[in-house]
Structure 1
Amino acid sequence: MKVFKFGGASVKDAQGIENVFNVLQKVGHENVLLVISAMGKTTNALEVVVKNYMDKSAELQSSIQEVKKYHNQILLDLFEEETHEVFFAVNKLFTDLESFLKNNKSPNYSFVYDQVVSMGEILSTTIVSHYFNYRGLHNEWTDVREFIKTDTTYRDAVVDWEQTQQNIAKNIKKKTLIITQGFLGSDENNFTTTLGREGSDYTAAIFAYCLNAESVTIWKDVPGVLNADPRYFDNAILLNQISYREAIELAFYGATVIHPKTLQPLQRKEIPLYVKSFLNPLLPGTSVSKGADLEPHTSCYIVKKNQLLISLSSLDFSFIMEENISEIFSLLHKYKMKVHLIQNSAISFSVCADDKFGNFTELKSILDRKFKVTYNENVSLYTIRHFTDKSAKAIAQDKDILVRQVSRETMQIVAKDKLVSE
């Protein structure tokens, strides 16, 4: 069985959905499990719904209407008859969403987030499944929440691999086209959970692992894995082949083409991963498998924007020892700060981290009790894998560098965009 994953950009409008249909006609669809993300920027739009709901904002209904209007336009563009059953199916999903918001009693933001934002994937797969059947491509719509079971860490759930593997091995029918959702799972009480932003790639890897799949293909709007993000770097080149190890390194440092958690289950069973263009589906793209680290061998550039550089020093000029570092990391973990770089000296300790849950203010109030805390918001972390003198000079040019760190294969710098310190 093959696993295909199509992200939000590939199904952002009616033309995109028609293109996915055409891609499957070209590359084959028998014995394929199709993982699909929410359409376009729907996840962002539903995050606004969550915020308005939690803030008791008067804008709640209008934010829901925006999501409705967007999906309804796609339906009108895809289906000739407004009496088609897909219109009723989609309308029921919005009724379910509004019913949840009306009856929910939980004040837990992350719980509400998962119940609401998950609607994006349910909507997209419902529409795509109906459209494929409408065009004569028979498929089975499958609710991923019946298969991928997790704990109750809402917004960043941990997969229960044993239960998930049993569910998938027993109940996934082969020899047919299956359409399911990325990003989602459910806990033991069948409440929806999510696997973290960009978790649809991870969903594809979970199914591939549990099905002993032949391969996973991630379909993108780029020709494959590039050595740099073309939004930030000129003259990015296509990498034809990457080893699992190199891909995991790139993902760890923040390369966004492949989700960090995606690679580990695939590597364990040596299931090849392909990254291909949904605009040119017959081109080879990039293969990720056991073998040569990089082909061609070249410097790879990664940038992470909107980072937080936190520097701690002891109040009495004493050394920051192992017990201090252990306590600091425990707090970073507790407040869900994703650390990307560490640097320490005798009396100071710095981390470059991602405050994706907005917990830094609370964390700082705790750290202030024991340390002098300085910080810079909105900094950028630049990483070069397989750097050369030329690439190192180019990346450092015209930047106000706060931290520089070099190892045998990797150079990282933290550069200041906007200073906020105290």
Structure 2
Amino acid sequence: MRIFKFGGASIKDAEAVRNIYDVLQITGHSDVLLVVSAMGKTTNAIEVVINNYFEKSAELKASIQEVKKYHNEILLDLFEDDQNPVFAALKKLFDEMELFLQNNKSPNYNYVYDQLIGYGELLSTTILTYFFSHKNIDTNLLDVRQYIKTNSNFREAEVDWQLTQKNISAIKVKATLNITQGFLGSDENNFSTSLGREGSDYTAAIFGYCLNADSVTIWKDVPGVMNADPRFFENAILLENISYREAIELAFYGATVIHPKTLQPLQRKEIPLYVKSFLNPKLPGTKVGKGSDLQPLVPCFIVKRNQLLISLSSLNFEFIMEENISEIFALLHKYKLKVHLIQNSAISFSVCCDDNYGNFEVLKAVLSSKFSVSYNENISLYTIRHFDDLSANSITENKKVLLTQTSRETIQIVAAT
């Protein structure tokens, strides 16, 4: 069994879907399980639907129609016969989506989000299943929610590994092309849950682990894992081999090619992970597995934009001690600000973090009762693994540096953008 994960960019339109068929002709598709994301920017489009449901009901119908139109245009390009049963299959999914919106009574945004957001994956996998069947590939569509079981922490659900292993082990693996959705699971009440944005990579790793797969391959629009994001850094270099440890470090610091949770289950069973290009499937790409940390050994650059730097100091010049730090982290956890860097002195404490849930204003009011609070918004956090003076200077040049932290192999620089 091989696990292939295809993201939204790889299936953004009819031409891209045909390209996946071509990729499978090169790689083979027997005993393969595809983990598939939503098409193109569908997840963003469904987020608009969800926001309109809560805040702009007059625009709700139009936003749903946008999602329908996008997928129907792909169908009309892929299938000559508009009587193909795939049209009815997609209509059924849209009907389910609209029925939920009509009947839902819950005011819980995160619950509603998870009941709707996964329709992007359900639509994409349905289209691929019918298209590959149309191309005479024997396919088997699996509803991932029947296999990956989680808790009820909507939008960031945690996997129940014991039950998930039991469910996935029951899959009768055939010499066929199995297709399932990334990003999704379900809780004990069978409500849909999601594993966090970009969680499809994690889904592929879960199936790889539970099926004892020979390998997991993440197909991207880049040649493999680069030492820097080519969108932000010139002269990025392909990393041919990366150890599990090094890849986990890169993911932890925010490298976006591999999801942070993806590597841990694969490392436990030493299942190799490949990152390859769906545009050039014959290229070797990057292998993540056992072996030397990095080949070639070069500085690796990671940037996280739209960060928040919060600096706290005591109101009466008392030391910030362990109990203060513990309280601060409890509040950061409560208000869901994800911390990427910390630095403290005797009477000050700074964190660089994400505010993805927009809770900072509330948190600031709470912190202000005990600390003097200063902050910088829309800053960037640069991380360089295996840094040298030249690579560090290339980041700090012509930037206002707010904070720097250095360890043996890693330097982190917080700078105003």
| TM over 0.5, shorter chain | yes
**Rounded Cα–Cα distance in structure 1 between residues aligned with 2:174 and 2:85:** 26
Letter in 2 for 1:79: F
Aligned residue in 1 for 2:404 = 404
Aligned residues: 417
User: Cα distance 1:172–1:251, how it changes in 2: closer, same or farther (>3 A)?
Assistant: farther
Superposed counterparts of 1:144-163, under 5 Å: 144-163=144-163
Aligned residue in 2 for 1:336 = 336
**Rounded Cα–Cα distance in structure 1 between residues aligned with 2:70 and 2:14:** 11
Letter in 1 for 2:145: R
The alpha-carbon deviation at position 366 of structure 1 amounts to 1.2
Letter in 2 for 1:415: A
**Rounded Cα–Cα distance in structure 2 between residues aligned with 1:307 and 1:43:** 23
| Secondary structure of the corresponding residue to residue 275 of structure 1 | strand
Residue 72 (structure 2) pairs with residue 68 (structure 1): no
- Per the normalisation by structure 1, the TM-score is 0.98
The alpha-carbon deviation at position 170 of structure 1 amounts to 1.2
Superposed counterparts of 1:270-349, under 5 Å: 270-349=270-349
Aligned residue in 2 for 1:175 = 175
Aligned residue in 2 for 1:80 = 80
| Secondary structure of the corresponding residue to residue 260 of structure 1 | coil
**Rounded Cα–Cα distance in structure 2 between residues aligned with 1:83 and 1:176:** 26
The alpha-carbon deviation at position 145 of structure 1 amounts to 0.1
Aligned residue in 1 for 2:393 = 393
**Rounded Cα–Cα distance in structure 1 between residues aligned with 2:415 and 2:57:** 37
| Secondary structure of the corresponding residue to residue 307 of structure 2 | strand
**Rounded Cα–Cα distance in structure 2 between residues aligned with 1:172 and 1:227:** 40
The alpha-carbon deviation at position 86 of structure 1 amounts to 0.3
CA deviation map 1:190-213 (0-9, x unaligned): 010000000000000000000111
Aligned residue in 2 for 1:34 = 34
Aligned residue in 1 for 2:194 = 194
Aligned residue in 2 for 1:371 = 371
CA deviation map 1:351-393 (0-9, x unaligned): 0001111111121121111111111111000010000111111
Aligned residue in 1 for 2:104 = 104
**Rounded Cα–Cα distance in structure 2 between residues aligned with 1:410 and 1:169:** 40
The alpha-carbon deviation at position 395 of structure 1 amounts to 1.0
**Rounded Cα–Cα distance in structure 2 between residues aligned with 1:394 and 1:56:** 45
Percent identity of equivalent pairs: 70
The alpha-carbon deviation at position 172 of structure 1 amounts to 4.2
Aligned residue in 2 for 1:140 = 140
Residue 315 (structure 2) pairs with residue 350 (structure 1): no
Letter in 2 for 1:25: Q
Aligned residue in 1 for 2:259 = 259
Aligned residue in 1 for 2:115 = 115
**Rounded Cα–Cα distance in structure 2 between residues aligned with 1:273 and 1:181:** 19
**Rounded Cα–Cα distance in structure 2 between residues aligned with 1:291 and 1:356:** 36
**Rounded Cα–Cα distance in structure 2 between residues aligned with 1:296 and 1:274:** 16
RMSD, aligned α-carbons: 0.7
Superposed counterparts of 1:195-234, under 5 Å: 195-234=195-234
| Secondary structure of the corresponding residue to residue 250 of structure 1 | helix
Aligned residue in 1 for 2:240 = 240
Letter in 2 for 1:333: H
**Rounded Cα–Cα distance in structure 2 between residues aligned with 1:191 and 1:35:** 20
Unaligned runs of 5+ residues in structure 2 are: none
**Rounded Cα–Cα distance in structure 2 between residues aligned with 1:58 and 1:185:** 31
**Rounded Cα–Cα distance in structure 2 between residues aligned with 1:6 and 1:370:** 48
| Secondary structure of the corresponding residue to residue 171 of structure 1 | coil
